[in-house]
């Protein structure tokens, strides 16, 4: 996580023009000294989203949304804090300096992005204007991609002649190597004789490529991706996310497919809430990138072959584990979304999505295929396999309801399925051991949740800030960095800077707090359950504090160091505490921070 210097952030704050940040995303209309637009954060017909020229904040009088440029990019485009700062710095010509410990060695991200953009332009031009490129163009036409489509997504071709590429870019070798465009220690390009699909980050900058060979004579696998670089992290990359991000965040659902052409075809045909992993190699981190956008439904539209069917089991588990509903679109054998859309058309694909199978039913069918369920041992193995998978999910209610559904699907008594909750001791020990090795701190997690609510929801709902501050005080925190950051945030609210994330970053002197702030801002929360989530978090903190106070009193009573009078007084305090369990209280009139 990058920590930027105060001087850098101060310079950025001075240069940001909020109007120019908002204009590409909103239809701003001049209204006197202000600009108006329909708010992007709620449905409305009459514009109530207001920003004044020269102001650093916007405000919506309809839903209360309020924030600075960083808050807008984080909430509207679902960027991280770090990505928002980097995008604004690039836009307004600010060189971002990082703290000495964070300063990377080698070429900067900016230089790598420039190299990738130039490479993208070269590949695209080579596809359209050379004889070798036209052979690749014919392949794309045969796949049903038209010229407008190819231009729109800047698809290109990497030539067979290596010198053409390196001569065209005229970049330092170190930059080309770090960008993953040239083989390390060699003169030849990383990509040759491949159709090139540029991979974009959230801001639309090219961060890497996926190259598909169109001839069996080309060396290597069917798809070849940029190696790990400062920009390109394969485990997090989702092809098509830049084009689909807004609709995914708005509709809270996503279609996941395997190939780049599948994703592009879906987007072109109006299913612009689709993304592709890198083939079937879809991991937990990629799932988390989508969960950050607030999705509640993942639709798996993987290839109709054994690899696709196997991948649906694995990928679906990543989402179900986090409480995300999963359904599986069953494509015909040997088909994929691109082929299906070209042969059957978009309405048929819409129907395929509507008729997609829920994940649990899919699991039962998947594990039952080719098995003789009349044999008790076979059925037992299948039920145990699926129930163990369900028990790995993080949400108790989802686990409970899924076990009940599994009982119905397999015609097994619910009581028998419920018994699967009681795993063998060796399995339990193994899981506990694994958790202990990751050094999970429940106090820090709980307090981080509160800070995350405070920063994200509190920006638009001051009554939620009041609710938190009325119930939670300094002494309720057990993690020093969380307590210090809480105090710092509340001080900013007192100054009327509730949404100025840039100001908050600048105002923090402590390096640990700066790092922790970035960590807090990195993860998304579900705004739809804000009030319930905040009340639940407050209650858990109050209960923890209440239990801690009770244990402290009990320890003093049993310490053997107290007089009889002191023990009686402590017992009285204990009874008083016990008779008044904590409650979340709505504020009336109170200071922001005692």
Alpha helices, DSSP H only, in 68-146? 69-76, 81-91, 109-129, 131-142
Return the SS3 of 92.
coil
Q: Which residue has the higher pLDDT, 581 or 319?
A: 319
Residue 491: left (phi > 0), alpha (psi -120 to 50), or beta? Answer: alpha
CATH number of 241-363: 3.40.1360.10
- What pLDDT, on a 0 to 100 scale, did the predictor assign at position 523? 63
Greatest mean pLDDT among 331-345, 407-421, 465-479: 331-345
- In sign, the C-alpha dihedral spanning 497, 501, 502, 503 is positive
Q: Return the percentage of the chain with pLDDT > 90, whole number.
A: 29
Cβ-in-10-Å burial (0-12, 13-18, 19+) of 447 comes to buried
Confidence of residue 527 (pLDDT cuts 50, 70, 90): low
| Chain segment 550-593, per-residue pLDDT in tens | 888 888 877 778 888 888 888 888 888 888 888 888 876 544 44
Q: How distant is the alpha carbon of residue 75 from its chain centre?
A: 12
Q: Which residue has the tokens 């710092």?
A: 488
| Chain segment 420-429, per-residue pLDDT in tens | 655 443 443 3
CA–CA separation, 8 vs 94, rounded Å? 8
Phi and psi of 225, rounded to 5°?
-110, 155
Q: Answer yes or no: are the C-beta atoms of 213 and 194 closer than 8 Å.
A: yes
Q: Is the pLDDT confidence value at 55 over 80?
A: yes
- What pLDDT, on a 0 to 100 scale, did the predictor assign at position 361? 95
Q: Is the pLDDT confidence value at 324 over 50?
A: yes
- What pLDDT, on a 0 to 100 scale, did the predictor assign at position 524? 60
Which among 217, 218, 231, 228 is positioned nearest to 191, based on CA atoms?
218
Q: What's the rounded mean pLDDT across residues 1-5?
A: 65
List the Cα angle 51/54/59 in 5-degree steps. Answer: 20
- What pLDDT, on a 0 to 100 scale, did the predictor assign at position 426? 41
- What pLDDT, on a 0 to 100 scale, did the predictor assign at position 199? 93
Would you give the DSSP letter of residue 68?
A: -
- Please give the mean pLDDT across all residues of the chain: 83
Alpha helices, DSSP H only, in 323-368? 337-344, 346-354, 359-368
Which of 275-284, 509-518, 535-544 bottoms out in mean pLDDT, i.e. has the lowest? 509-518
Confidence of residue 196 (pLDDT cuts 50, 70, 90): very high
- What pLDDT, on a 0 to 100 scale, did the predictor assign at position 457? 72
Within 8 A by CB and 6+ apart from 333, the residues are 304, 305
> Quick one: the chain helix, strand, coil %, rounded to 5?
55, 10, 35
Q: Is the pLDDT confidence value at 405 over 80?
A: yes
Q: What's the rounded mean pLDDT across residues 289-297?
A: 88
CA–CA separation, 421 vs 400, rounded Å? 10
Q: Is the pLDDT confidence value at 147 over 50?
A: yes
Q: Answer yes or no: are the C-beta atoms of 320 and 359 closer than 8 Å.
A: yes
Q: Is the pLDDT confidence value at 327 over 80?
A: yes
Would you give the DSSP letter of residue 524?
A: -
Confidence of residue 415 (pLDDT cuts 50, 70, 90): confident
- What pLDDT, on a 0 to 100 scale, did the predictor assign at position 309? 92
Confidence of residue 100 (pLDDT cuts 50, 70, 90): low
- Give the right CATH number for 442-578 from 1.10.860.10, 3.90.1150.10, 3.40.50.720, 2.60.120.10: 1.10.860.10
Q: Which CATH fold would you assign to the domain 109-225?
A: DNA primase DNAg catalytic core, N-terminal domain (3.90.980)
User: Class assignment of domain 6-91?
Assistant: alpha beta
CA–CA separation, 387 vs 475, rounded Å? 42
Return the SS3 of 335.
coil
């Amino acid at each position: 996580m990058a920590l930027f210097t105060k001087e850098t952030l101060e310079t950025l704050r001075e240069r940001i023009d909020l109007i120019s940040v908002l204009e590409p995303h909103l239809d701003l209309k001049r209204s006197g000294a202000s600009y108006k637009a329909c708010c992007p954060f709620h449905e409305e017909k009459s514009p109530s989203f207001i920003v004044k020229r020269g102001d650093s904040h916007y405000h919506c009088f309809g839903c209360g949304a309020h924030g600075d440029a960083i808050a807008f990019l984080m909430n509207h485009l679902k960027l991280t804090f770090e990505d928002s700062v980097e995008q604004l710095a690039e836009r307004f010509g600010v060189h971002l300096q990082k703290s000495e410990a964070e300063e990377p060695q080698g070429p900067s991200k900016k230089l790598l992005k420039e190299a990738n953009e130039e490479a993208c332009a070269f590949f695209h031009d080579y596809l359209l204007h050379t004889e070798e490129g036209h052979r690749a163009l014919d392949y794309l036409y045969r796949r049903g991609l038209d010229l407008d489509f190819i231009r729109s997504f800047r698809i290109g071709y990497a030539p067979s002649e290596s010198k053409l590429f390196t001569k065209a870019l005229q970049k330092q070798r170190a930059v080309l190597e770090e960008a993953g465009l040239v083989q390390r220690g060699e003169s030849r390009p990383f990509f040759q004789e491949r159709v090139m699909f540029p991979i974009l980050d959230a801001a639309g900058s090219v961060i890497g490529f996926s190259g598909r060979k169109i001839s069996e004579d080309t060396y290597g696998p069917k798809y070849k991706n940029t190696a790990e670089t400062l920009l390109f992290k394969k485990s997090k990359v989702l092809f098509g996310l830049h084009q689909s991000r807004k609709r995914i965040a708005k509709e809270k659902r996503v279609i996941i497919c395997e190939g780049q052409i599948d994703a592009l075809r879906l987007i072109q045909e109006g299913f612009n809430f689709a993304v592709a992993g890198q083939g079937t190699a879809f991991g937990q981190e990629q799932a988390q990138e989508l969960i950050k956008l607030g999705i509640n439904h993942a639709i798996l539209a993987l290839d109709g072959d054994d690899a696709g069917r196997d991948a649906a089991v694995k990928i679906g588990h990543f989402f179900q584990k986090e409480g995300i509903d999963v359904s599986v679109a069953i494509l015909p054998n040997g088909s994929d979304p691109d082929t299906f859309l070209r042969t059957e058309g978009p309405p048929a694909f819409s129907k395929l999505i509507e008729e997609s199978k829920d994940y649990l039913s899919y699991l039962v069918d998947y594990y039952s295929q080719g098995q003789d369920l009349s044999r008790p041992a076979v059925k037992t193995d299948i039920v145990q396999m699926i129930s163990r998978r369900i028990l790995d999910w993080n949400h108790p209610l989802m686990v409970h309801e899924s076990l009940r559904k599994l009982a119905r699907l397999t015609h097994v008594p619910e009581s028998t399925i419920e018994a699967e909750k009681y795993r063998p001791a060796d399995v339990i020990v193994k899981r506990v051991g694994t958790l202990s090795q990751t050094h999970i701190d429940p106090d820090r997690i709980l307090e981080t949740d509160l800070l995350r609510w405070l920063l994200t929801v509190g920006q638009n709902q001051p009554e939620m800030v009041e609710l938190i501050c009325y119930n939670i005080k300094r002494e309720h925190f057990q993690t020093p960095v969380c307590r210090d950051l809480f105090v710092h945030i509340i001080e900013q609210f007192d100054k009327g800077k509730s949404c100025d994330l840039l100001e908050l970053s600048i105002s923090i002197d402590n390096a640990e707090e700066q790092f922790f702030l970035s960590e807090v801002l990195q993860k998304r929360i579900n705004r739809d359950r804000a009030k319930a989530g905040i009340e639940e978090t407050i209650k858990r903190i109050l209960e923890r504090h209440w239990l801690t106070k009770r244990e402290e009193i009990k320890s003093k009573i049993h310490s053997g160091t107290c007089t009889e009078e002191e023990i009686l007084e402590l017992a009285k305090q204990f009874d008083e505490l016990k008779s008044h369990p904590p409650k979340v209280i709505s504020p009336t009139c109170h200071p922001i921070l005692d």
